Amino acid sequence: MDKDSRTIYSAGADGYVVKWDVNNPEEGSLILQSGEAFYSISKIGNELKIGSKSGVIYTVDLTNNELVSSTQLHQGGVFIIGEGYSGGEDGVLLRPKTIGESLDSSFNADDMVLSRDSLRCVIETGQDLFVGASDNSIYRLDSKTFELKQKLVGHANSVFAMELMDDNTLVSTGRDALIKAWDLSIGKEVHSVPAHEYQAKSLSWNGELLLSSSMDKTIKIWNNKLDLLKVIDIERYDGHTNCINKVEWLDNNLFVSCSDDRSLLLWKVEILS
């Protein structure tokens, strides 16, 4: 997503990457088509990087929408891509020097086996990189040296999404359908709420409200104390008909959601005084 230009990029199991204009969302523009499923997408500068089921990362130059590289970097699906790193099903975090270079079927000194299970999600701050994994854990790394600073363990299984609500409070969710709040100053879980009926897939925080989405086909809106404010579903709001894989705020009032029902929906939130 590019919030400045109000542009959304989507990728899916159909092997398509599509660009959407929020101001004219009816028709998207096809950027890339592949014969394999895509698991992740990230805009970095003027490039779009797309992670695939097979471990290939595709790079598209957005100035002309041309594919400039497709490189096998992982063994299995790629779930996270950032500036100078990537991670996925093999549990390996590829660090800066490795991006854009072939593995040649072996890992080198720039590869970091962070977990024996998949690396599923990531968020960045100026100093830290938080990586959620399928081994129940959240790894806090130094963003420059990639040194492990903290390991948070509390979920029953895979961690699928995280958000930093303030400098000291991290929230996370995953396969156990719980939203957990962590105090980073002590490295402990301080609050947990049962958020969804089935696994939760994503979180998004706009500074006041937290969104969560789930396999139960609902989007929920929470305040900063994790009090539930609103449930968005198909019955009351003509929402999604299948698992909602991603929600993300565009600004303080508008957010987008995408689903296994193969649709993207734009939502406007109005706060009544």
User: For residues 103 and 56, what is the distance between their CA atoms, to the nearest angstrom?
Assistant: 11
- What is the domain extent for residue 53? 1-113
**Alpha-carbon span 59 to 69, nearest angstrom:** 5
Q: Could you tell me if residue 102 is inside a domain?
A: yes
Token pair, residue 1, equals 């997503």
Distances from the Cα of 189 to the Cα of 46, 81, 200, angstroms: 38, 27, 18
In this prediction, residues 234-254 reach a mean pLDDT of: 96
Q: How many domains, in total, are found in the chain?
A: 1
Question: Does position 165 have pLDDT exceeding 90, yes or no?
Answer: yes
Q: Which of 66-75, 103-112, 228-237, 238-247 is least confident?
A: 103-112
pLDDT in tens, 218-230: 999 999 999 999 9
The answer to the question of residue 35 being in a domain is yes
As a whole number of angstroms, the distance between CA 93 and CA 95 comes to: 6
Question: What's the CA gap between 263 and 248, in Å, rounded?
Answer: 14
pLDDT band of 152, cuts 50, 70, 90: very high
pTM of the model: 0.92
* End-to-end C-alpha distance for the chain, whole angstroms: 30
Looking at residue 123, its pLDDT comes to: 97
Q: Number of C-alpha atoms within 13 angstroms, CB side, residue 241?
A: 3
Is residue 17 in some structural domain? yes
Q: What is the CATH number of the domain that holds 31?
A: 2.130.10.10
Hey, is 208 helix, strand or coil? coil
Residue 175, classed as helix, strand or coil, is: coil
The two three-digit tokens of residue 64, written as one number: 């002309």
Q: Is residue 86 part of a domain?
A: yes
Residue 272 placed within a domain = no
Residue 100 has pLDDT above 70, yes or no: no
Going by pLDDT thresholds of 50, 70 and 90, the confidence category of residue 107 is very low
Phi-psi region of 36 (alpha: psi -120 to 50; beta: other; left: phi over 0): beta
Does the residue 184 lie in any domain? no
The distance from CA 89 to its chain's CA centroid, rounded to whole angstroms, is: 14
DSSP 8-state symbol, 10: E
| Residue 249, token pair as written in the block | 């705020």
Does 107 reside within a domain? yes
Cα(197)–Cα(49) distance, integer angstroms: 33
- Over residues 78-88, the pLDDT tens digits come to 999 999 899 99
d(C-alpha 112, C-alpha 74), whole Å: 12
Please, which residues bridge with residue 11 across strands? 17
**Mean pLDDT across 246-272:** 95
β 244-249/111-113 pair status: unpaired
pLDDT of residue 126: 86
Q: What is the pLDDT of residue 273?
A: 65
Helix (H) or strand (E) holding 195: none
Residue 102 pLDDT grade (very low, low, confident, very high; cuts 50, 70, 90): very low
Residue 193: helix, strand or coil by DSSP? strand
Q: Is residue 97 in a domain?
A: yes
* Mean pLDDT over the full length of the chain: 93
Report the pLDDT value the prediction gives residue 235, as an integer from 0 to 100: 94
Q: Percent of the chain beyond pLDDT 70?
A: 94
